[in-house]
Amino acid sequence: MKNEFCSGSYKIIFFIAAWCCFNPAQAQTEPFYSDIQSFKKQDSAHFPAKNAILFVGSSSFTKWTDVQNYFPQYTIINRGFGGSSLPDVIHFANDIIIPYRPKQIVIYCGENDLAGVDTAVNGKVVLGRFKQLFMLIRKQLPKVPIAFVSMKPSPSRQHLLPKMIEGNSLIKKYLAKQKNTAYIDVYHKMFKPDGTVMNDIFREDKLHMNAKGYAIWQKVIAPFLLK
Q: Per residue in 105-155, pLDDT tens?
A: 999 999 999 999 999 999 999 999 999 999 999 999 999 999 999 999 999
Within a domain: 4: no
The answer to whether 212 and 58 have CB atoms below 8 angstroms apart is: no
Task: Give me the number of domains the chain comprises.
Answer: 1
Q: What is the DSSP letter of 50?
A: T
Within a domain: 37: no
Within a domain: 15: no
Within a domain: 56: yes
Q: pLDDT value at position 23? A: 52
Check pLDDT > 50 for residue 15: no
DSSP codes joined into one string, 178-213: SSSEEEE--GGGGB-TTS-B-GGGB-TTSSSB-HHH
Q: pLDDT value at position 197? A: 97
pLDDT: is 13 or 156 the higher one?
156
- 12-46 burial, b for 16+ CB within 10 Å, e for fewer? eeeeeeeeeeeeeeeeeeebbeebbeebeeeeeee
Within a domain: 57: yes
CA dihedral sign of residues 219, 220, 223, 227 = negative
Q: pTM (2 decimals)?
A: 0.87
Within a domain: 200: yes
Within a domain: 103: yes
pLDDT band at 50 (very low <50, low <70, confident <90, very high): confident
Give the three-class secondary structure for 219: helix
Check pLDDT > 90 for residue 14: no
- Write out 121-146 in H/E/C secondary structure: CCHHHHHHHHHHHHHHHHHHCCCCCE
- The residue segments making up the domain with residue 140 are 48-224
CA distance linking residue 105 with residue 151, whole number of Å: 16
Within a domain: 102: yes
Distance of CA 80 to the CA centre of its chain: 6
